[in-house]
A and B are shown apart, each in its own frame.
Chain A
């Protein structure tokens, strides 16, 4: 396992380098017009040149790439060039990450609690009343686009309950609605998968055997069904936890949470190269690391799964 882990980590570093290099080059394919601002039509050539020079965009791409990597190795992610001009990228991200991470984790936990218990309940009462009720909920969340139902919740719930419309730092009442509405989508997803796998699992022969043996239903559920049903989910869980820092674009836009949600989309459209590169770096490290952790976790939950290549196996 250790050898496998080291190999995977080395491989991941290579991947991250490929990713940011590709992203770096892709960003340079976008038109430079984006850097000139509102007076693009009026600027003189000398001014345009000065602006491009200031952002280091006059150099050939390989020089820019070299500069980028040499400062990256010194631990410098550079200054933002458009989003907040001349402010170090680190200073921009530092206050944002805790918001997204906090809301992300809170809603992830909430959605796991709601989703899994709902899924289990549905599987146990398959075909029964509650199965239908929860199914209706899951169907509703899946059917109505998030952009619509989230706005709907914000508008009507705040008008009924007098909860504040916008998030305010330090006012804990204003944290409730964003967290809850953010967890709905996840909860529906988890419930659906949980139900599906539990139903699959309950049909398996060893469960029938366990039942025939007279094993208590509760024990069957906990030590057999749930554990096995959890395996496929285990793969995604670490990435989900780590990538909560990327935030939720809908929730953060609607409730004015100053987090990371939509930041990447925004800075790509505004061509803030340094910020795009920094974000892609962070997200890809976390994403790749999450995938790796997921693999490990999956192997832990299900000893039958072997990750490293062994003699004899193809």
Chain B
């Protein structure tokens, strides 16, 4: 360091540059306080994601429309069979037109009304099953992962239920209660929570022995508090994604059940049975609309939940907060 530089530095050491601050108790508080709020930050980041917002808007519109559709003017009954005045018989496979926006099906029912009615049914099933999955699955999963005394018991219960084929339960339930909306929901709830519980359990097993949890235990924090305050918040991002996927997952499950013949009777339209009906005419160019319309609605639901779930999981990760 040259003398000249030194001189410059000393010259800067001017009293004017540094003054003693007055003691201010309020400001002192501020250093120990941050206005950081987890959820506020999460939403702030979430709302920055334009694609997610667009999909959110589409999804909200779709859900709202699904709910209010039957109350709009000029809507048709999803089970009413329309008669062709020319022949006096069913208006079969009528292509999309001004009167029937999405055409009619093989016995002359309005596909537009059926798709929205089906979406209502499927979404309702998915939401009920989804809520159950979240509430019951996380509850069991948290206990399973964190409380070692329960590990053996819950593992046992999990293994037993998980290994009894769903088909047996569904066939039996359908036999006892007849195929219906209620049967479907009960059957799905019976086993739907398993995946979530196992998922949460595995996550917890991964982090339960981390140092900060060990520290909490040493300090005598009750188990329940450790689960809710230390462990679960850490998992919010992955759990949210899981929830977002569980809704399209349940709809997909319903499609699968319909495929193997355990779905809802087509008298109650659902996305599952509409797709299955449409699938049979996939190779007929004139009838393909019967597959495309329900497939598009289903895809919109799946894509929005999927992308929203991802975006929200990103936003919910505190490390992305700044």
Contact = CB atoms under 8 A, between A and B. Distances in A.
Q: Do A and B touch (CB < 8 Å)?
A: yes
B39 interface: no
B259 A235 contact: no
A232 B307 contact: no
B123 interface: no
Interface in B222-267: 223, 237-238, 241, 248, 252, 255-256, 259-261
Given A262-B260, A314-B217, A147 B276 contact: yes
B41 interface: no
A291 interface: yes
Interface in A249-304: 249-250, 262, 264-265, 268-269, 276, 280, 283-284, 287-288, 291, 298, 302, 304
B191 interface: no
A288 B156 CA distance: 10
B49 to A, nearest CB: 11
Contact of B159 (A15, A27, A305): A15
Given A15-B156, A199-B314, A200-B237, A232 B203 contact: yes
B9 interface: no
Nearest to B313: A196
B72 interface: no
Interface range, B side: 35 or more
Contacts, number: 139
Contacts of A168: none
A146 B319 CA distance: 35
Contacts of B165: 23, 264-265, 268, 276, 280, 283
A231 B205 CA distance: 11
Contacts of B203: 232
Interface string A218-244: 000000000000011001000000000
A309 B275 CA distance: 49
A19 B164 contact: yes
A11 interface: yes
A145 B298 contact: yes
Nearest to B257: A265
Interface of A is mostly: helix
A204 B318 CA distance: 11
Contacts of B159: 12, 15, 19, 284, 287-288, 291
B209 A304 contact: yes
Given A155-B282, A313-B209, A314-B147, A148 B171 contact: no
A8 B208 CA distance: 21
Given A203-B319, A291-B159, A22 B164 contact: yes
A196 B163 contact: no
A46 interface: no
A139 B298 contact: no
Contact of A287 (B163, B169, B317): B163
B283 interface: yes
Contacts of B237: 200
Contact of B168 (A144, A145, A203, A276): A276
Contact of B238 (A148, A196, A235): A196
B152 interface: yes
B75 interface: no
A67 interface: no
B203 to A, nearest CB: 7
Given A22-B164, A200-B317, 19 more contacts: A18-B156, A19-B159, A26-B168, A143-B303, A146-B256, A147-B276, A148-B275, A151-B282, A199-B314, A235-B202, A264-B165, A264-B167, A268-B165, A268-B167, A284-B163, A305-B205, A309-B148, A313-B217, A314-B147
Q: When A and B form their complex, which 8 residue pairs have the shortest distance between CB atoms, in order from nearest?
A: A284-B163, A203-B319, A143-B299, A143-B302, A15-B159, A19-B163, A268-B167, A143-B303
Interface of A: 11-12, 14-16, 18-19, 22-23, 26-27, 29-31, 139, 142-148, 151-152, 155, 196, 199-200, 203-204, 231-232, 235, 249-250, 262, 264-265, 268-269, 276, 280, 283-284, 287-288, 291, 298, 302, 304-306, 309, 313-314
18 contacts: A15-B163, A22-B164, A145-B252, A145-B275, A147-B259, A147-B279, A148-B291, A155-B282, A203-B317, A203-B320, A249-B260, A265-B167, A269-B167, A291-B159, A298-B202, A305-B209, A309-B148, A314-B223
